[in-house]
Chain A
C-alpha cells in the first residue's frame, strides 16, 4: 500500500507533477493519492522529504541462488537463425560476465543442432538442444510446454526472449504457467545489486520505466529486435552442448495452422521488425506506382520497405509492412520516412530509431520534429537523386 506521512508532507506538489497517471492531488497542503494510483513509485523518487512510502510485501520464496546462468531463447525461421537471437546473446554475455555466470542458449526445433556453432563461435558457454521433428513449426502449445519443462529442470537465473511475434506469444504463456514476472519489449538491460534491471518504454514511448523482478526466478524479459548489439564472432568453438530429450505430440494440438500466406508484394523482402534500415512511404508517395521509388532506395541500402497506415489503407503495400501503433513497432539504426507527415500513431512505432531521416514537402510536418536529418522537397525528385548518390557513395566505401 502507498501512504503519505502527513507530518513530513509539505504540500510542495512535486509528487503531483511527477505522477504519470494524474493520481495525486494536493488538498490542504497534503498530497492525497487517488484511485488512479498504480503504485509505480514515481512520486516516491521525487519527494524531497521522504513523505511517501510504498510498502511491498515480501514473498517467502525458495533459495534464489539455486538459479544460475543467463539464458536466451533463440529464434529460427525458415532454416535460418534470426539476427535478434545473436543480439540477445550479445546482451546475455555482458550480463553473465557481470554476474560471473554462464551464458546459455536454448535451441528448439527440428534438426537445429547445426546452428549450435553460430552461438558457440559468438561466445555462448552452453547450448541446450531440444530437437524434435514436431518442433519444426512454432506452436504456442508445444513450444511453451517444452520451455516450461526445461526452465523447471535447469533453473536459469535470467531468460531473454526476442520480442518478435512468436516471442511475444510464447514468453507470457511460459511466465504465467510458472508464475513468473515478465517485462515486455525491453530496450535496456543491466545488472544492479545482482538483479536484472529492465528498462522499457511505456505510454507510447513518452515515459521510460526501470523494472526489477525481486522475488521469482528466472527473471524474464522480451527484448526488442535491433536494439542490442549482436554478439561478435570470437572464433573459439567450445560451447558445451546438452541434448535435452523432449516428447512432443502434434495429435492433441488445439490450434492448428491451415495455410500460410506470405506478403505477396515483398516475398523476398526483409521483415520490418528485424531490419536495421527501413525506408518507409506514406500518403505523400502519391501512388502504388511511386512506391517503386521507395523500393529502389530500400534496395540500395539493403533495407526493409515500411509504410504508414495511410499507405496500407490505400492498398499500396501489405499490412505486414505497416509501422506505427496499429502495425509494427520498430527501432532500426536508420529510418527513412518518405511522404509521411508523422502522426503520433506513426511516431509511436518508430521514434526509438537511432537515426531518422525525413523527406516531406511540408516544412511543418511533425515528422521533422523527431528527424535527425530532413529534406523539404518533392520526394519524386529527391528519392531518385538520393538513391543514385547513395549507390555511388556506398560503392566507394
Chain B
C-alpha cells in the first residue's frame, strides 16, 4: 500500500497527476442589459474555473513527497494567468495549449487536444478534471478524454478516500446519496465539489514563486496528431446561433400583509393562473 489518508504511510513509488483546467469568464459577474436583453461582457473578469481549482486542490491534498502535479489548459495566451494561479496553489508544472488552430473547438476537439498533450507527457497515474466549466456547463470533456485514452473514468466524484499502489477508492455522488467505488490506476476523475464553494486565492509569496516554476506553451506543431482534429475543423458539433433567453416576466410579490391574507392571496393567484 502506498498511501493511506488516515495513517499517512509513506512508500517509495512516486506518482504523476495531471489536472486539466480552463480559464472562464466569471459567469456569476455576467449581467444582462435589460433594454437589449444581451450579455454585458464589459468588466467581467476571467478566472480559473472554480471546479477545476477544487480538482487541483484534491490532487494537492492526496499528493505525497516526490509526486508531481502537472496542470494543462487549452486556451488563448491570456489563459496563462489561470495556470499561474494553479502553480501558486501548489502545482509543479504547467503546460498551455495555445494555437489559433485550436479555436472553435467543441467538446470532442477539446478532448482530442488535451488527449494529445497527455500522450506527449507520457506516463501518469491520475487525471483530474473539474465537474464542469461554469461557462459551457457540459461536463463532457473529462469522460471524452478517458474514452480517447482508453482508461476508466469516475465522474461525479466527491472526494478521494484512499490511494494505494495501483488502486484508488473514491466517494461518488448518486441521485439519492453516494457510493464508494474502487478503481484501478490509471484513472480519470471528474467532480470534486467541496461543501464550501469558495475558491481561495493563493498567498503573495506563492504567486511570486509560481513565476519561477516550469511553464511551457505548446501549439499544434508540438502536439502532432491530425490537424483536421483540432479546433473548428475537428469539431463535430456546430453552434449556429447564440442568443439571450427570453427574460422572465415580472412576478407578483405580496407584501405588507398578515401571513393569513398573504397565503390566501397566493392561493387565489395560483388557482386563477391554473398553477394548482
Are B259 and A371 in contact, with the CB atoms below 8 A? no
Q: Chain B: residues with CB nearer than 8 A to chain A? A: 25, 27-28, 30, 32, 36, 38-39, 41-42, 44, 76-78, 98, 100, 103-108, 111, 131, 134-148, 152-156, 158, 169, 173-184, 187, 193, 195-197, 228, 231-233, 235-245, 248-249, 251-257, 259-260, 262-264, 266-267, 269-271, 275-276
Residues in A with CB closer than 8 Å to B32 are 206
Query: Could you tell me the distance between the alpha carbons of A329 and B177 in the complex, rounded to whole angstroms?
Result: 16
Question: Provided the pairs A164-B175, A261-B178 are in contact, do residues A373 and B239 lie with their beta carbons within 8 angstroms?
Answer: no
Query: Could you tell me the distance between the alpha carbons of A255 and B189 in the complex, rounded to whole angstroms?
Result: 11
Question: Provided the pairs A261-B177, A374-B251, A376-B255 are in contact, do residues A37 and B241 lie with their beta carbons within 8 angstroms?
Answer: no
Q: Which residue of A lies closest to B104 (CB)?
A: A39
Question: Provided the pairs A37-B104, A204-B27 are in contact, do residues A182 and B237 lie with their beta carbons within 8 angstroms?
Answer: yes
Quick check: is A18 within 8 A (CB to CB) of the other chain?
Answer: yes
Q: Which residue of A lies closest to B141 (CB)?
A: A172
Are A390 and B276 in contact, with the CB atoms below 8 A? yes
Most B C-beta atoms less than 10 A away, residue of A206, A261, A378 = A206
Q: Which residue of A lies closest to B259 (CB)?
A: A381
Are B147 and A173 in contact, with the CB atoms below 8 A? yes
Residues in A with CB closer than 8 Å to B233 are 56-57
Residues in B with CB closer than 8 Å to A38 are 103-105
Query: Could you tell me the distance between the alpha carbons of A319 and B27 in the complex, rounded to whole angstroms?
Result: 23
Are B173 and A165 in contact, with the CB atoms below 8 A? yes
Other-chain residue from B148, B196, B242 in contact with A207 (beta carbon distance below 8 A): B242
Most A C-beta atoms less than 10 A away, residue of B142, B238, B257 = B238
Question: Provided the pairs A140-B153, A176-B111 are in contact, do residues A377 and B262 lie with their beta carbons within 8 angstroms?
Answer: yes
Query: Could you tell me the distance between the alpha carbons of A271 and B195 in the complex, rounded to whole angstroms?
Result: 19
Rounded to whole Å, the gap between the CB of A377 and the closest CB of chain B is: 6
Q: Which residue of A lies closest to B238 (CB)?
A: A212
Are A378 and B259 in contact, with the CB atoms below 8 A? yes
Q: Which residue of A lies closest to B267 (CB)?
A: A389
Are B175 and A181 in contact, with the CB atoms below 8 A? no
Residues in A with CB closer than 8 Å to B187 are 254-255
Query: Could you tell me the distance between the alpha carbons of A20 and B231 in the complex, rounded to whole angstroms?
Result: 18
Residues in B with CB closer than 8 Å to A172 are 107, 139-144, 147
Are A263 and B177 in contact, with the CB atoms below 8 A? yes
Other-chain residue from A207, A256, A386 in contact with B181 (beta carbon distance below 8 A): A256
Query: Could you tell me the distance between the alpha carbons of A394 and B270 in the complex, rounded to whole angstroms?
Result: 12
Other-chain residue from B78, B144, B257 in contact with A35 (beta carbon distance below 8 A): B78
Question: Provided the pairs A169-B153, A273-B175 are in contact, do residues A185 and B143 lie with their beta carbons within 8 angstroms?
Answer: no
Most A C-beta atoms less than 10 A away, residue of B107, B154, B237, B245 = B237
Are A209 and B239 in contact, with the CB atoms below 8 A? yes
Quick check: is A150 within 8 A (CB to CB) of the other chain?
Answer: no
Are B76 and A20 in contact, with the CB atoms below 8 A? no
Interface residues of A in 15-34 (CB under 8 A from B): 17-22, 34
Quick check: is A397 within 8 A (CB to CB) of the other chain?
Answer: yes
Question: Provided the pairs A259-B179, A393-B271 are in contact, do residues A181 and B155 lie with their beta carbons within 8 angstroms?
Answer: no
Quick check: is A40 within 8 A (CB to CB) of the other chain?
Answer: yes
Residues in B with CB closer than 8 Å to A56 are 232-233, 238
Kindly list the 7 A-B residue pairs having the minimum CB-CB distance in the complex, ordered from nearest: A39-B104, A181-B236, A35-B76, A176-B147, A376-B255, A176-B144, A204-B27
Query: Could you tell me the distance between the alpha carbons of A312 and B144 in the complex, rounded to whole angstroms?
Result: 31
Quick check: is A117 within 8 A (CB to CB) of the other chain?
Answer: no
Which of A105-113, A125-133, A151-159, A213-221 has 4 or more CB atoms under 8 Å from chain B?
A213-221
19 pairs, A vs B, C-beta closer than 8 Å: A20-B242, A21-B25, A35-B103, A36-B78, A37-B103, A41-B242, A42-B241, A54-B104, A57-B232, A169-B143, A169-B155, A206-B30, A207-B244, A262-B177, A326-B197, A356-B251, A363-B255, A370-B251, A386-B266
Residues in B with CB closer than 8 Å to A45 are 241-242
Other-chain residue from B148, B197, B237 in contact with A309 (beta carbon distance below 8 A): B197
Are B197 and A325 in contact, with the CB atoms below 8 A? yes
Rounded to whole Å, the gap between the CB of A138 and the closest CB of chain B is: 10
Query: Could you tell me the distance between the alpha carbons of A93 and B230 in the complex, rounded to whole angstroms?
Result: 35
Are A389 and B104 in contact, with the CB atoms below 8 A? no
Rounded to whole Å, the gap between the CB of B262 and the closest CB of chain A is: 5
Rounded to whole Å, the gap between the CB of B146 and the closest CB of chain A is: 7
Q: A313-348: contact bitstring with B at CB < 8 Å (1 yes, 0 no)?
A: 100001110000111010000100000000011001
Quick check: is A13 within 8 A (CB to CB) of the other chain?
Answer: no
Q: Which residue of A lies closest to B156 (CB)?
A: A165
Other-chain residue from A21, A171, A378, A386 in contact with B41 (beta carbon distance below 8 A): A21
Are A204 and B153 in contact, with the CB atoms below 8 A? no
Query: Could you tell me the distance between the alpha carbons of A254 and B32 in the complex, rounded to whole angstroms?
Result: 46
Residues in B with CB closer than 8 Å to A271 are 175-176
Query: Could you tell me the distance between the alpha carbons of A181 and B106 in the complex, rounded to whole angstroms?
Result: 8
Rounded to whole Å, the gap between the CB of B44 and the closest CB of chain A is: 7
17 further A-B pairs in the complex, CB-CB below 8 A; given A35-B78, A182-B236: A20-B41, A35-B100, A41-B240, A57-B232, A165-B174, A169-B156, A176-B147, A179-B108, A184-B136, A209-B242, A211-B239, A257-B181, A319-B158, A355-B275, A370-B248, A373-B266, A376-B262
Question: Provided the pairs A202-B137, A213-B238 are in contact, do residues A382 and B262 lie with their beta carbons within 8 angstroms?
Answer: yes
Other-chain residue from A57, A175, A257 in contact with B180 (beta carbon distance below 8 A): A257
Are B256 and A376 in contact, with the CB atoms below 8 A? yes
Interface residues of A in 251-279 (CB under 8 A from B): 254-264, 266, 269, 271, 273-274
Query: Could you tell me the distance between the alpha carbons of A316 and B135 in the complex, rounded to whole angstroms?
Result: 30
Q: A196-233: contact bitstring with B at CB < 8 Å (1 yes, 0 no)?
A: 01100111111111111111100000000000000000
Are A266 and B176 in contact, with the CB atoms below 8 A? yes
Are B266 and A180 in contact, with the CB atoms below 8 A? no
Query: Could you tell me the distance between the alpha carbons of A326 and B145 in the complex, rounded to whole angstroms?
Result: 22
Residues in B with CB closer than 8 Å to A262 are 176-177
Residues in A with CB closer than 8 Å to B39 are 20, 203, 206-207
Question: Provided the pairs A36-B78, A258-B181, A319-B195 are in contact, do residues A42 and B242 lie with their beta carbons within 8 angstroms?
Answer: yes
Are B245 and A204 in contact, with the CB atoms below 8 A? no
Query: Could you tell me the distance between the alpha carbons of A177 and B182 in the complex, rounded to whole angstroms?
Result: 23
Other-chain residue from A77, A144, A256, A334 in contact with B275 (beta carbon distance below 8 A): A334
